[in-house]
Amino acid sequence: TVTIKELTNHNYIDHELSATLDSTDAFEGPEKLLEIWFFPHKDAITTEKTLRDIVMARWIEILKLVKCEVLSMKKTKELDAFLLSE
């Protein structure tokens, strides 16, 4: 279960977006789910850099093409979890 600490340890929050986001016109819950495995395992990556070295500005740019914005993000040892605006 979570503790209130989880409200204070984000790696990224867009406060302005969070305060202005409005879901009045939301009508389509069903999602599109895309999963791309570039490698079978992280140990198979032969380059020094990995997906997690792509900076936030790049993800924001890519997600703009999808019509999404980054609300907040949490980093753990193995993954970056982005919560998005839609």
- Compute the least distance from the CB of residue 63 to other proteins, in Å: 7
Cβ contacts of 6-10, under 8 Å, gap ≥ 24: 9/74, 10/72, 10/73, 10/74
Size of the site for other proteins (CB under 8 A): 67
83 touches other proteins by CB under 8 A: yes
- Compute the least distance from the CB of residue 8 to other proteins, in Å: 8
CA distance 22 to 85: 9
**Which of positions 23-62 make contact with other proteins (CB under 8 A)?**
23-24, 26-47, 49-54, 58-59, 61-62
